[in-house]
Amino acid sequence: MSWVNNLRNWQRFKDSHEYMNQVYGDPNAYLKEPYKTQFVTDREYWGNFGYGECFNSTSTQVQCEIIQGDFDPSTLPYEKRMAWHFREFCYKTSAHGIPMIGQAPNKYYRTIWIILFCSCMIMLYKNAESVLEKYNKNEKIVDIELKFDTAPFPAITLCNLNPYKASVAKSIDLVARTFSFGLRLRKMTRLPAPYGDCITDGKTKDYVYNEYEYTVEGCYRSCFQQLVLKDCLCGDPRFPVPDDAKHCQATDPIARKCLDEKLKELGGVHGSFRCRCQQPCKQSIYSVTYSAAKWPSLSLQIQLGACVGTNEECNKHYKENGAMVEVFYEQLNYEMLTESEAYGFVNLLADFGGQLGLWCGVSFLTCFEILDFLFHTICLFTRHNFERIKKKFVKEKKDSF
């Protein structure tokens, strides 16, 4: 049976030899006749070997790869070099749709992809417009948080030097009473422009309370004082004045008359005059709960202050000559209200990038690809026009001689 196997092997070798000759030709053919170099025309090059079309035919794949690797585009004319530059961008870009336009096998296929690409660009424009509109609204949100921490206790001042009329003071029955003031602290943090309208640096230009933090009440008093200084050339004695001004003297009848007329005209500190008093960006607000009761009670059996006598006599003395003031925190926590941007720049980038990826498949690096393409296109255009003007100038110079 060995001769049968040898016959089969010979037939297999013969078939392989004939197949190799059919595919690759006679290997000794270059010795029998001179090798003929075949050149392609410009039309064949752009039709068969340009970017995109070369991969539609397997017979020209090797030639196409050689052209892509070793072809020098600077040897082409200006118009075809620009076309080659555009085709190269279409082939290499990471954006979706553009490679399909550059590699289209015919004009109908290319037209369909151009229509699809333009439709996606329109949708991108519509969605990007809504994203920008949402960002330009400058909306904000308020976060409310309960803080269980040590709260700063406010300064409390009992002062009997307030400039109130004696008749008004006598009409208020303060003795024999207990006054309880319950405090609740609320801290607020506001956003400045463009999200809000608050004072960031702490004080306005004409703020008269230089040694204290900015408050809206202080702003109204400062505005009122500035209006009084403008017309009366002196300030209301109840409020501070700038360093270069003085208070109105009670012994000066002209100043007193001007001050009285100005008070009637403006209607007090919170009158109808216009003052742009903005809220501070950081503020601590104390809300007060007030309650009062008779004091002291009959069950009180302790001595408060200097009192010589029995408990009944001391209670009677306290009731006729004293008052009790109690200030305390209603709760051991406080509220913190913080404003934050509802739609910031990071959200804008995320949504805009999502729209670019959805409709065009464009990333941040793709933008640099487009910029690189535009840069090289402008350089090519500038260089071509510079060479053309230079040749024209040299030619005119030669003709002049």
pLDDT in the model for residue 289: 83
Half-sphere exposure of 148 (CA within 13 A, CB side): 0
Mean pLDDT score, 83-99: 84
pLDDT at 260: 87
Q: Cis (ω within 30 of 0) for the bond into 296?
A: yes
pLDDT per residue as tens digits for the range 199-238: 876 666 778 888 888 888 888 888 888 888 988 889 888 8
- Provide CATH code, domain 201-274: 1.10.287.820
Written as six digits, the tokens of 301 are 């059996």
Rg from Cα positions in the chain: 46
List, as own/partner pairs, every contact residues 91-99 make where C-beta atoms lie below 8 angstroms and the sequence separation is at least 24, other chains included. Answer: 91/51, 91/52, 92/369, 93/366, 93/369, 93/370, 93/373, 94/361, 94/363, 94/365, 94/366, 94/369, 95/360, 95/361, 95/362, 95/366, 95/369, 95/370, 96/360, 96/361, 96/362, 97/360, 97/361, 99/52
For residue 170, list its beta bridge partners.
none
Q: How far apart are CA 293 and CA 295, in angstroms?
A: 6
Predicted pLDDT at 206: 79
pLDDT value of residue 242: 86
| 74-78, 156-160, 339-343: the lowest-pLDDT one | 156-160
Q: Tell me the range of 166-180, 259-273, 331-345 where mean pLDDT is highest.
A: 331-345
- Confidence at residue 29, expressed as pLDDT on a 0 to 100 scale: 45
Average pLDDT over residues 365-375: 89
State how far the Cα of 256 lies from the Cα of 253, in Å rounded to an integer: 5
- Cα–Cα distance between 49 and 40 in angstroms, integer? 10
Runs of H (alpha helix) within 252-310: 253-266
N- to C-terminal Cα distance for the chain? 97
What pLDDT was estimated at residue 58? 40
* Tens digits of residue pLDDT in 330-356: 877 888 888 888 888 889 989 988 898
Q: How far is residue 244 from each of residues 237, 240, 252, 258, measured CA to CA in Å?
A: 15, 12, 19, 20
For 102-117, what is each residue's pLDDT tens digit? 888 888 988 999 999 9
Average pLDDT over residues 286-297: 77
CA distance 261 to 257: 6
Distance CA 359, CA 182 (A): 60
How many CB atoms within 10 Å of residue 267? Answer: 11
Q: Is the pLDDT of residue 381 over 70?
A: yes
- Mean of pLDDT values over 167-192: 72
* Amino acid identity, position 395: K
pLDDT at position 95 is 87
Q: Residue 186: beta bridge partners?
A: 285, 335
Kindly state the average pLDDT of the residues 124-132. Answer: 91
Q: Which pLDDT score is estimated for 54?
A: 43
pLDDT of residue 70: 52
Q: How many CA atoms lie within 13 A of 10 on its CB side?
A: 6
pTM, 2 dp: 0.54
pLDDT given at position 221: 87
Residues 6+ apart with CB under 8 A from 97: 113, 116, 117, 120, 360, 361
Q: What is the pLDDT of residues 18-67, one digit of tens each?
A: 544 544 455 444 444 444 444 444 444 444 444 444 444 444 343 344 34
Which residues lie across from 35 on neighbouring strands? none
Burial 270-307 (b: 16+ CB within 10 A, else e): eeeeebebbbbbebeeeeeeeeeeebbeeeeeeeeeeb
Tell whether the model's pLDDT for residue 167 goes beyond 80.
no
* Tens digits of residue pLDDT in 298-335: 666 666 666 777 777 777 777 777 777 788 888 778 88
Confidence of residue 160 (pLDDT cuts 50, 70, 90): low
Can you tell me the mean pLDDT for 167-180? 61
Give the CB-side neighbour count of residue 62, counting CA atoms within 13 A: 1
Comparison of pLDDT for 388 and 161, the residue scoring more:
388
Per-domain boundaries in the chain? 201-274
- Strand 282-294 to 324-329 pairing: unpaired
Q: Is the pLDDT of residue 96 over 60?
A: yes
Measured distance CA(324)–CA(372) in Å, rounded: 81
pLDDT averaged over the chain?
A: 75
So what's the pLDDT on residue 126?
A: 92
